[in-house]
Amino acid sequence: MKPFEIVAHRGIPTEAPENTIESFQCAVDLGADAVELDVRLTADRIPVVYHYYYLDVNTTASGAIFDYTFEQLKDVKVLCRDNPAAKSGCISTLCEILDIFSGKIGLEIEIKGPEPEAVEIIGNVLHKHKNHWDTMEVTSYHPSLLLGIQNLCPGLATDFLFPRSESWMKLDVIQYQALHLSRLAHARGVHLHPTQLTETVVNALHEQGLEIHTWDANDEQTLTTIANLGIPRICTDEFKRALAFRDGIIR
């Protein structure tokens, strides 16, 4: 087994509302290697850190986030679904998050899209933190967005997010699609779900020069499989469990 880097998915949502300053600070305090965060555009095209299209999921507001200006979002409170007793948080801009956390912890920045202008808007924000690009990576399910970021931010790592498998898909199709979609995106690497990972798939993608990361690594059986395959970085909703597992490998 090999130890892996641990990415805290949207921070530590069991301690503070996901994708908030408080949640990311908790990840820093607990020793995460990186945090994963999601970026969407507001009605006035400000990149903000929030996962869902609809605010109803975990905030005091309702409706689609793209119908709100950032000024309107300032009054919205983000609730902690995993810990109702936790203090509510606020929706922050990508710029605010980078100002606070660049250089303190690794940042895995998912561009949700699909707006074509997202590339230039988000790329301009990333350029202000160019001195910390070595601790950042940009991810997306959209190859075109990754290509755009590469053009605007050459040298910044970009990884393709491969979606969960359809029920009809077997491992040969997963391997084939993951390879060619990653090539289409000119990506450094590809992020696969643990159910898509086998030694054959991992070896085949490595032979093509792709780095492989994984997500949804939340239970001991999954963590064991990932460690045995030598995956270098995982993203998890169960940070403390993943940390304890990794500490066991190191000891």
pLDDT in tens, 159-203: 999 999 888 899 999 999 999 999 999 999 999 999 999 999 999
The rounded percent of the chain whose pLDDT value lies above 90 is: 95
Q: First CA to last CA across the chain, in angstroms?
A: 12
Residue 251's pLDDT is 60
pLDDT (average), residues 123-144: 98
Residue 228's pLDDT is 96
**Short-list 129, 82, 105, 100, CA closest to 36:** 105
State if pTM tops 0.85.
yes
Mean pLDDT of the chain: 97
Residue 219, pLDDT > 80, answer yes
Residue 1's pLDDT is 73
Residue 48, pLDDT > 80, answer yes
Q: Which domain holds residue 237?
A: 5-250
Residue 233's pLDDT is 99
Counted domains in the chain:
1
pLDDT (average), residues 94-103: 99
CATH number, position 20: 3.20.20.190
Distances (CA, A) of 156 to 18, 109, 149, 153, 181: 25, 11, 8, 6, 19
